[in-house]
Amino acid sequence: MGCGCNKQKKAEIKNELMNENVKYLEDIQNDENKLKSLIKIQRFIHKKLSKDKISQIKQTISNNNSLNNSQNIKESKENDSKQLTIEIPKEELTNLLNEYPPLDDNIIVNINGPLKDYNSQSVYLGEWDSNKNVKHGRGIQYWSEGSKYYGYWVSGKANIKGKLIHFDGDIYEGEWLDDQPNGKGKYTHSDGTIYEGDWKNDKQHGKGKEIWPDGAWYEGDYFNGKKHGKGKFSWSDGSYYEGEFANNNINGFGEYKFGDNRSYKGTWVNNKLEGKGVFTWPDGRRYEGEYKNDKKEGFGTFYWNNGKIYKGNWKNGKKHGEGEVYFPNNKSWRKGIWKNGERVKYYDYL
């Protein structure tokens, strides 16, 4: 999941953040790797959360729908070829009834179960709508592989509010609509990773926050299961990015602040510096100008902390083409031509 870079890539990045008279901090490569690798890590976690876990929740709960028909129940009970030995402790139902108030929907329910469904390998115990012959109200369902749902049901489907404990230890607790997380909810991974926020149709959608065990976190907008909109991603060493995201990528306008107080503020495309921006260093050095594919390219101005200035064209992270230099000692400008970072010639003083 990390983003390893070869020696050539490292040299290119070093050149990107150096100029002919100044040696910059050597750890920029580690910062860029960290940025890109952690973006990949959080995208991986999204994938596991949005597609794997919640899809399993949806499939697992949906599989119970055969219980909604009395004929299916009868056939399931008669199917002795699949032994179902799941037991739901009755004190769990008592705790559920005490914790969750009854639904105020004027539907008469009674306690039913344990009802075994051999097709989905599950057992249900809880309130039941005898008129429609479906789960309705407060109930608990266990599956043979170890998962458990604890909460409200409406017309045979998980609804309103409930908790699903996945067989691998992951937990979703929050609002439901027709067997899908919808509304506010919290998903806790067994490794300690947490997402809490808005859901729509099984996916993170709206406002939310993710926290990783190492202390990194993201808070902001989600769309259809991905970071999309405005948000802030913070790392455990104190560095952070705050700005726009698109489809789980840093994309648009934003600021990345390094742990040593260097910063870039400008536009991004797919996690790379692209467009116009300002890169600053704690000692006063500053670059203002255009970037392409993470490197200075186009027109830009570099300010040294001793007052020297280069203003002109750049390519592939180096001065390239026509430009001019300001010398603070005699307060004069000189125009010249550069190629791949090397000065070819100066023109006359301006």
- Mean per-residue pLDDT over the chain, rounded: 81
pLDDT band of residue 99 (cuts 50, 70, 90) is very high
The token duo for 101 is: 């108030």
pLDDT tens per residue, range 294-308: 999 999 999 999 999
CB–CB of 117/66 below 8 Å?
Answer: yes
pLDDT of residue 206: 97
In this predicted structure, the answer to whether residue 130 has a pLDDT above a threshold of 60 is: yes
CA distances from 149 to 15, 85, 110 (A): 56, 17, 19
pLDDT of residue 73: 36
pTM as predicted: 0.74
Phi/psi at 302 (5° precision): -115, 130
In this predicted structure, the answer to whether residue 163 has a pLDDT above a threshold of 80 is: yes
Alpha-carbon Rg for the chain, nearest whole angstrom, is: 30
* Domains located in the chain, CATH noted: 28-211 (no CATH), 269-350 (2.20.110.10)
Average pLDDT over residues 76-104: 80
3-state secondary structure string, 245-305? EECCEEEEEEEEECCCCCEEEEEEECCEEEEEEEEECCCCCEEEEEEECCEEEEEEEEECC
CB–CB of 150/171 below 8 Å?
Answer: no
pLDDT of residue 19: 33
> Which of 49-63, 71-85, 123-137 shows the lowest mean pLDDT across its residues?
49-63
pLDDT tens per residue, range 3-14: 222 333 223 322
Residue with tokens 């219980």: 67
pLDDT of residue 348: 63
pLDDT tens per residue, range 171-224: 999 999 999 999 999 999 999 999 999 999 989 999 999 999 999 999 999 999
Strand spans (E) along 17-77: none
pLDDT tens per residue, range 211-255: 999 999 999 999 999 999 999 999 999 999 999 999 999 999 999
pLDDT of residue 65: 42
In this predicted structure, the answer to whether residue 170 has a pLDDT above a threshold of 80 is: yes
In this predicted structure, the answer to whether residue 152 has a pLDDT above a threshold of 50 is: yes
pLDDT of residue 201: 92
pLDDT band of residue 349 (cuts 50, 70, 90) is low
In this predicted structure, the answer to whether residue 26 has a pLDDT above a threshold of 70 is: no
